[in-house]
């Protein structure tokens, strides 16, 4: 592996537009990748004494729906800037009735129910098999749970995030089926972000803010975008503070298994 430019950031945050203001002395960096342009220029600045690169998942004007986000370009751009640990806050629905809006969850498992999304960097030149039994960084999860507890949030430790194609919400039948499998959260952007991070040997940690009870749990008219946005806006300040706490607590040296997932692999392309 080679680095094409000097590192300018050590930690990446992929989130919504409400996170722009949390960086100090931010500068925007345009990054070209073999997979096209990322969602927007990357904002790089200081947070909690660390160099952080922030990338708005949907673009700053929210122009990319979940199924059209340039996931491969986003993760590649962050790695090319020196990022090796990624914190990924997102809004999700709950499949469990007692974990309603405002709940913070740090899942430990992932189920992919998307269709048609490019989800690997290694399409040609030979198969590259990466371990994905545990899709998230164990150290990142530990740090996030500790930071959440310290902030008085009482985060849910573990659970399964099922990722649907979107942009529509689930039917009641789909939602009830997901819950019957024992899955606890439903979202639209957690895949392929996590697997692409793993293919680049990055640490990836999700911070899931529950904004609604999913259709199979909700007894009213179901999930609406207005409800989701209202809960997210009400909690964005608290979530932004938590991301800063997590960034501050992430280890400077990675001792988890994530850096070694590509050891021995014959990679068909050169990583940044």
In-domain check, residue 136: yes
Residue 5 lies in a domain: no
Q: Band of the pLDDT at 126, cuts 50, 70, 90?
A: confident
The rounded distance, in Å, linking the Cα atoms of 138 and 77 is: 23
Write out the residue range of the structural domain in which residue 103 sits: 11-259
Residue 271, in any domain of the structure: no
Report, as residue numbers or ranges, the catalytic residues. 212, 214
Q: For residue 114, is it within any domain?
A: yes
Residue of 105 and 215 predicted with greater confidence: 105
Instruction: Give the pLDDT band (50/70/90) at residue 3.
Output: very low
In a domain, 133, yes or no: yes
What CATH number did the domain enclosing 196 receive? 3.40.50.1580
Residue 1 lies in a domain: no
Q: How many domains does one find in the chain?
A: 1
What is the chain's alpha carbon radius of gyration, rounded to the nearest angstrom? 18
Rounded to 5 degrees, φ, ψ at 54 are -110, 135
pLDDT digits (tens, 9 = 90+) for 191-222: 999 999 999 999 999 999 999 998 888 766 66
122 falls within a domain? yes
pTM reported for the whole predicted model:
0.94
Distances (CA, A) of 199 to 75, 76, 107, 195: 10, 10, 20, 6
Any domain includes 237: yes
Q: Quick one: average pLDDT of 69-79?
A: 98
- Mapped onto helix, strand or coil, the DSSP state of residue 33 is strand
Q: What is the reported pLDDT for 219?
A: 66
pLDDT at 23: 80
């Amino acid at each position: 592996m080679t680095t094409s430019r000097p590192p300018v950031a050590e930690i990446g945050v992929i989130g919504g537009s409400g996170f722009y203001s949390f960086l100090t002395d931010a500068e925007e960096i345009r990054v070209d990748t073999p997979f096209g342009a990322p969602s927007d220029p990357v904002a790089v600045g200081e947070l909690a004494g660390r160099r952080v690169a922030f990338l708005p998942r949907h673009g700053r004007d929210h122009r990319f729906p979940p199924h059209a986000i340039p996931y491969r370009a986003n993760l590649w751009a962050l790695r090319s800037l020196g990022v090796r640990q990624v914190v990924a806050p997102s809004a999700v629905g709950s499949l469990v009735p007692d974990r309603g809006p405002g709940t913070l969850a740090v899942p430990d498992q992932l189920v992919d129910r998307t269709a048609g999304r490019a989800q690997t960097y290694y399409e040609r030149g030979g198969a590259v098999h990466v371990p994905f039994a545990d899709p998230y960084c164990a150290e990142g999860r530990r740090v996030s749970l500790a930071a959440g507890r310290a902030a008085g949030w009482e985060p849910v430790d573990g659970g399964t995030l099922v990722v649907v194609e979107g942009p529509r919400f689930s039917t009641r039948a789909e939602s009830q089926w997901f819950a019957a499998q024992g899955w606890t959260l439903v979202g639209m952007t957690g895949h392929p972000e996590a697997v692409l991070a793993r293919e680049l040997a990055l640490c990836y940690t999700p911070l899931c803010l529950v904004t609604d009870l999913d259709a199979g749990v909700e007894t009213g008219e179901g999930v609406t975008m207005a409800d989701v946005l209202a809960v997210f806006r009400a909690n964005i300040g608290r979530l932004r503070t938590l991301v800063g706490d997590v960034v501050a607590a992430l280890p400077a040296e990675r001792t988890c298994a994530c850096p070694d997932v590509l050891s021995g692999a014959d990679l068909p392309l050169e990583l940044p």
